[in-house]
Amino acid sequence: MNVTAANLEETVRNVFHGAVRLDADPVENEVEHEAWKPWVTASVTFTNPWHCRIQIELSLDLAAYLAAALVRSPVPVADPELWQDAAGELANMVAGNLKPFIPNALRYSVPRVVLGSGSGGRRVFGPSLDKTFLLAGLPMRVTVTDDGTFDFPGLAAPSLN
């Protein structure tokens, strides 16, 4: 099996509905990235034999909202450490649920989370599949990236379409 736009969308919708009781509504047009700054980026990398990254990008406002939802707080959480924990946990959930669509995905990393501002959060190498969602009216981008690295010569990478 391979990662497709349809199974990426379904996975993200299921994870966010189940974990934080929010609808992740896909949007057809790109949401202006300026609206996301400052941001949180969380990624999980699959290895052996194909290296790929599952990455989520979201605004600090959305991170505060998601952190509150994860700890069942009625108000957004004002703790940057909890924002990072929430982003990392949700990236891990998305990656774990996409694992069946990634052939030979034997291992995956712990989430790597970056909190920042400016344009430094977006790191995409190789072919990628992007999808933007709105959660509580705030944008989140999910990217699956093939970094082009293989541990075993002769194996073909799965397709992203």
Q: How confident is the model at residue 119 (pLDDT cuts 50, 70, 90)?
A: very low
Average pLDDT on 85-108 reads 86
Q: What is the pTM of this model?
A: 0.82
pLDDT at 42: 92
Please name each of the domains of the chain with its CATH number. Answer: 5-26+47-150 (3.40.1550.10)
Q: What is the pLDDT, as a whole number, of residue 101?
A: 81
Q: Residue 122 carries which DSSP code? A: -
Query: In this predicted structure, what is the pLDDT of residue 125?
Result: 54
Token pair in block for residue 40: 């949180």
Average confidence (pLDDT) over 3-29: 90
- Position 151 confidence tier, pLDDT thresholds 50, 70, 90: very low
- Bridge-partner residues for 141, per DSSP? 57, 132
Per-residue confidence (pLDDT) for residue 11, from 0 to 100: 94
Banded pLDDT at 116 (limits 50, 70, 90) = confident
Flag whether pLDDT at 158 surpasses 60: no
**Helical packing angle, 80-98 and 60-70, nearest 10°:** 80
SS3 for the chain is: CCECHHHHHHHHHHHHHHHHCCCCEEECCCCCHHHHCCEEEEEEEEECCEEEEEEEEEEHHHHHHHHHHHCCCCCCCCCHHHHHHHHHHHHHHHHHHHHHHCCCCCEECCCEEEEECCCCCCCCCCCEEEEEEEECCEEEEEEEEEEEEECCCCCCCCCEC
Question: What mean pLDDT comes out for the span 156-161?
Answer: 52
CB 27 within 8 A of CB 132: yes
Model pLDDT, residue 161: 52
d(CA 69, CA 72): 5
Q: Are strands 39-47 and 50-59 parallel, antiparallel or unpaired?
A: antiparallel
Q: What is the mean predicted confidence (pLDDT) over 148-158?
A: 46
Contact 140, 57 (CB under 8 A): yes
> Who wins on pLDDT, 36 or 79?
79
